[in-house]
Chains A and B, each alone.
Chain A
C-alpha cells in the first residue's frame, strides 16, 4: 500500500489555510503512516485556567494526519478530493501545556471508495497518547468549485 510522497504532504500543509493557521508541520512519513505536529501556542488554548490546548485543535491535527495517509499515492490532489465520513476521538488526558502535540496516523485498509484510519495524538511518546481516533474517509470525492448560488 503506497501513499502520498513526503514532499507533497509538507507542501500540502503549507497550502491548506487551516493547517497553516494551526502551524502544522510534517514530522515523518512512510507508506503506511504519517506524523504531523503543532507547536504549543497561546491562541490554541481551550482552558485559560490550565493553559491546556483545546480539543478542537487536536481534532484538526488528527483529521489532517488521518486524511493525508488515507489518500492513495496515485490519487492526485488536484484530480480528486477525499472527504471525512466520520471520526471518533477518545480523550485520555490533557495535552501538557508548553509541549508540541503530535498526531500519528496509520491507514490499515483501503477499498475502492473508502479508507480506514487509526490515529493517536501525544506530547511525549506515541505509547502515552492523549487522544486516539478512528476515522473513515470517502476517496475520490468532487474537487471542482461549488457553483455560486444566488443568496
Chain B
C-alpha cells in the first residue's frame, strides 16, 4: 500500500492526521482527528452540505454512517500497523437521536482483533457523551504488516 508505506517511510506510521488528509472522502466530509490521552476522537464540525433534513435541521443518516465507519477504521489504523487500509466486511448502525446542526464526536473500541478480521464498536455524540446520537459495530478485513 503506497499511502501507509509512504507514511511509515517518513516515520509517521501512526500519523492519523496525515492519513485523514490523504483520504478524499474524509476531506469532503470535513473530518478531523483529536488526540485524547492514549486514544483518538474523530470530530466532524457541522457543515451545511451534511444536512439530510432541512426542516429540523439534522445531519443525513449517510453522513452519520460514514463517520461511524471512518471512526472504526481510523481506530484500527491507530492500534495496529496495517499493510493496506482495512476493508469493511459489514457494518450495523443504530440511529439513536437526530444528529443536529452542531459538531459531532466519535470514538471506537476494537472489541476483538484477530489476525485477519477485527470487530469494532463505535459511538457518536454531540453535546453529551452519555447521550449518543448513533452507535454501531462492524467487521473489517485486516492485512497485517508482517504477512506481506
Contacts and interface: CB of A to CB of B under 8 A. Distances in A.
A118 B53 CA distance: 22
A87 B65 contact: yes
B40 interface: no
**Interface core residue of A18, A22, A90 (most chain B CB under 10 Å):** A18
Nearest to A49: B2
A91 B117 CA distance: 14
A46 B92 CA distance: 19
A88 B98 contact: no
B62 interface: yes
B110 to A, nearest CB: 18
B102 to A, nearest CB: 8
Interface string B40-83: 00000000111111111101111101110110000000000000
A47 B77 CA distance: 13
Interface residues of B, number: 44
B49 to A, nearest CB: 4
B88 A16 contact: no
B94 A86 contact: yes
Given A44-B24, A46-B25, A59-B69, A18 B50 contact: yes
Contact of A16 (B51, B65, B94, B95): B51
B90 interface: yes
Contacts of A62: 62
B38 to A, nearest CB: 26
Interface in A41-82: 42-49, 53-57, 59-64, 67, 78, 81
Interface residues of A, number: 45
B100 A146 contact: yes
A87 B61 contact: yes
* Interface residues of A, dominant DSSP: mixed
Contact of A56 (B27, B49, B66, B84): B66
A91 B23 contact: no
A145 B54 CA distance: 9
**Interface core residue of B51, B61, B85 (most chain A CB under 10 Å):** B61
A15 interface: yes
Interface of A: 15-22, 42-49, 53-57, 59-64, 67, 78, 81, 83-91, 94, 142-146
16 contacts: A16-B52, A21-B49, A43-B28, A46-B24, A49-B85, A54-B70, A56-B62, A56-B65, A60-B60, A62-B62, A83-B98, A84-B93, A87-B92, A91-B87, A94-B87, A144-B55
Interface of B: 1-3, 22-29, 48-57, 59-63, 65-67, 69-70, 84-85, 87-95, 98, 100
